[in-house]
Chain A
Amino acid sequence: MIELKGVTRRFGDAVAVDNIDLTIETGEVCVLVGSSGCGKSTTLRMINRLLPRTSGEILVDGEDINKADPEALRLNMGYAIQSTGLFPHWTVARNIGVVPDLLKWPTHKRDERVSELLTLLGLDPATDAIKYPHQLSGGQAQRVGVARALAGDPNILLMDEPFGALDAITRENLQQEMLRIQRQLSKTTVFVTHDIDEALKLATRIAVMDQGRIIQHDTPEAILRRPASAFVENLIGKGDRGLKLLALRTVGDVMERYPRPRQSDPLTEGLKETDSLRAALSVMVWQNSDQLPVLSEAGDAVGTVKREQLLQGGV
């Protein structure tokens, strides 16, 4: 659990973070969202003490972080940033192994961990491990950056716009990976972004920041349904609020499940349980149908979903 109590950070006369209170529960993904210069990165960097705070208290599991040794504190907090910051003179494997090395893990344990993480992030332990950062694509480099952050098995993960510089498709993929990894590992995560869609997708709770203050701290659904101010309303965009709400739920939440999976015609186009309601609706509109089968990975029909069910799901 991370607690920020009355935390302020000034740069000269300018106040970057203004007396914020924020509690991040163990295992949740807290997304700090806001426009650039709102203090979200500053907040993040105060948690691992890359920036000292001007006043206030930051507690991790009840302990003030200023009491701990800063290096020991950071070794227990994975850190991934937008520009990756991979060490250009080290191979991918050595980059990922940096924290295990600093923690003096035995070599075989470190090597196992590195190949485990490469696999987890969809990289090939045989071919990608020996590459150097300049040989990677942007998406691969960012995967390595995330793997490096996870390598020491930290309790806390800090991510500063890790997918901000990627193209839309790669970003979408990595967001999916993040969700999958988070389901497996449930790390306490603080994630900074300026992209409200990314925030809605990844967050357990979102903290909307503006001019150094937290305007609203709530679940994605609550932020969409009850924005606290005109600023938040603008941020989430009034126009497609309903669609964003649909995007929060998956087909699995509203579908009618068959008692047992049925064989289906291999040519039928269907939905997956993990598809969002928004994507499902889009498919229905495109195919002009009222009802679509829901298929498992193997291609069996496990249920069906109707248009009315989808629309009610957003309510």
Chain B
Amino acid sequence: MRPWLAPVALIAVLCALAALLPAMAPLFSWVEPNTDSLIYTRDSFWFLLQSHIWLVLVSATIGTLVAVSAGIFVTRPAGRDFLPLVSQVASIGQTVPPVAVLALAVPAMGFGEKPTLLALVLYGLLPILRNTLAGLGGINPAVLESAKGMGMSSAQVLFKVELPLAGRVILAGIRTSVTINIATAAIGSTIGARTLGDPVIAGLVNGNTAYVVQGAILIGLLALATDSLFEAIERAWGRTFSI
């Protein structure tokens, strides 16, 4: 049970802060003594937190499905010709900054949630794809040879041997992708998505540091909580398959 202690604690702190921040106005008067609007009130923090999580969750699910399937496809005999292409795209794509993806998505899809989702999916694909390729490619060829030699079908080799063995590396890729996207989603606020980036942007525009701090604290805590949640999952995976 102990690996789950840290994520549960962090999630509890996150929820408590999202609910209690409005009551902590006196604290923020330290940061911003010259104004009365100390707490961001255009939306509740609860609503922004949910919307933020929803964006990341949807994009991570799509990204994981696409990247893992692509990774599996290019390591099968039928798709092996695409392997160099896909692994190159995966490396190059990582060098494009997410803001650029957002900027390019707006003319195509307008403002709001949709271009943000697209940017998050595209940006999140690459770490997962890279780790899927690394995980599947890192399996000892003798293990695959003997799995086949024992009489396993290709599907059995994939689900009984390859995915369990590569799982931890793939999970690490998803973890990187989700953590990056929690930060990237905040930038979505600049193009009209409702995220925890809203108070940050509003604070920057109005010169209100209290808003910036409130948004930043929640985003940071969300990233930390998610990261420690993934760490616990990775450990559980390791124990289940004893790798």
Which residues of A does B touch, CB under 8 Å? Answer: 48, 50, 71-75, 79, 81, 83-89, 91, 98-99, 102, 132, 145, 148, 152, 158
Which B123-145 residues sit within 8 Å CB-CB of chain A?
140, 142-145
A85 engages B151 (CB within 8 Å): no
Q: Is the C-beta of B156 less than 8 angstroms from some C-beta in chain A? A: yes
Q: What residues of A have a CB within 8 angstroms of the CB of B153 in the complex?
A: 71
- Asked if A85 and B145 sit within 8 Å, CB to CB, the answer is yes
Is the beta-carbon distance between A87 and B149 smaller than 8 angstroms? Answer: no
Contacting pair B164 A89 (CB below 8 A):
yes
From DSSP, what is the main secondary structure of chain B's interface residues? helix
In the complex, which of the residues B145, B156, B165 contacts A50, with contact meaning CB atoms closer than 8 Å?
A: B145
Which positions in B face A, CB cutoff 8 Å?
Answer: 140, 142-153, 156, 161, 164-165, 241-243
Q: A86-B143, A132-B242 are in contact. Are A102 and B164 (CB under 8 A)?
A: no
* Chain B residue with the shortest CB-CB distance to A98: B150
Q: Are A85 and B143 in contact (CB under 8 A)?
A: yes
A50 & B148 in contact (Cβ 8 Å cutoff): yes
Taking the nearest CB of chain B, how far is it from the CB of A129, in angstroms? 14
B143 to chain A, nearest CB (A): 5
Chain A residues lying within 8 Å of B143, measured Cβ to Cβ, are 85-88
Q: How far is the CA of A83 from the CA of B143 in the complex (A)?
A: 9
> Contact between A87 and B148 (Cβ–Cβ < 8 Å)?
no
| CB-defined contacts of A74 to chain B, threshold 8 Å | 148-151
- Known: A74-B149, A79-B150, A85-B142; 13 extra A-B contacts, CB below 8 A, are A50-B145, A75-B151, A83-B140, A85-B144, A87-B147, A88-B140, A88-B143, A88-B243, A89-B161, A89-B165, A91-B242, A102-B152, A145-B146
- Residues of A near B142 (CB, < 8 A) are 81, 83-85
A-B contact count (CB 8 A): 63
Q: Report B160 CB to chain A, min CB distance, Å.
A: 8
Q: Which residues of A contact B242 (CB under 8 A)?
A: 89, 91, 132
Residues in B whose Cβ lies below 8 Å from that of A48:
149
CA distance A87 to B144 in the complex (A): 9
Closest to A83 in B: B142
A91 cross-chain contacts in B, Cβ below 8 A: 242
Cα–Cα, bound, A132→B153 (Å): 24
A73 to B149, CA, bound (A): 10
Please indicate the chain A residues that have their CB under 8 angstroms from the CB of B150 in the complex.
74-75, 79, 98-99, 102, 148
Chain B residues positioned under 8 Å from A84 (CB to CB)? 142, 146
Given that A87-B161, A88-B143, A88-B165 are known contacts, is A99 also in contact with B151, CB under 8 Å in the complex?
Answer: yes
Residue numbers in A under 8 Å from B140 (CB-CB) = 83, 85, 88
Tell which of B146, B151, B161, B243 touches A72, judged by Cβ atoms closer than 8 Å.
B151
Distance, CA A86 to CA B161, complexed state (A) = 11
Docked pose: A148 CA to B152 CA in angstroms: 14
Query: Is the CB–CB distance between A102 and B151 below 8 Å?
Result: yes
Bound: A205/B243 CA distance, A: 42
Residue from B150, B156, B243 having most chain A Cβ neighbours under 10 A: B150
CB distance from A306 to the nearest CB of B (A): 49
Bound-complex Cα distance A81 to B242 (A): 23
Residues of B within 8 A of A88 (CB): 140, 143, 165, 243
21 A–B pairs (Cβ distance < 8 Å), ordered by A: A48-B149, A50-B149, A71-B151, A74-B149, A74-B151, A79-B146, A79-B150, A81-B145, A81-B146, A84-B142, A85-B140, A85-B149, A86-B143, A87-B143, A87-B147, A87-B161, A88-B243, A89-B242, A102-B151, A102-B152, A132-B242
Q: Is the CB of A85 within 8 A of B152?
A: no
Q: Which of B144, B146, B243 has the most CB of A within 10 A?
A: B146
Whether B149 contacts A79 by the Cβ 8 Å rule is: yes
CB distance from A147 to the nearest CB of B (A): 12
Nearest chain-A residue to B148 (Cβ)? A50
> Closest CB-CB distance, A174 to chain B, in whole Å?
18
Q: Which residues of A contact B144 (CB under 8 A)?
A: 85
Residues of B within 8 A of A148 (CB): 150
Q: Smallest Cβ distance from B167 to chain A, in angstroms?
A: 9
Residues of B within 8 A of A83 (CB): 140, 142
B149 near A81 with CB under 8 A, answer yes
Contacts of A85 in B (CB 8 A): 140, 142-147, 149
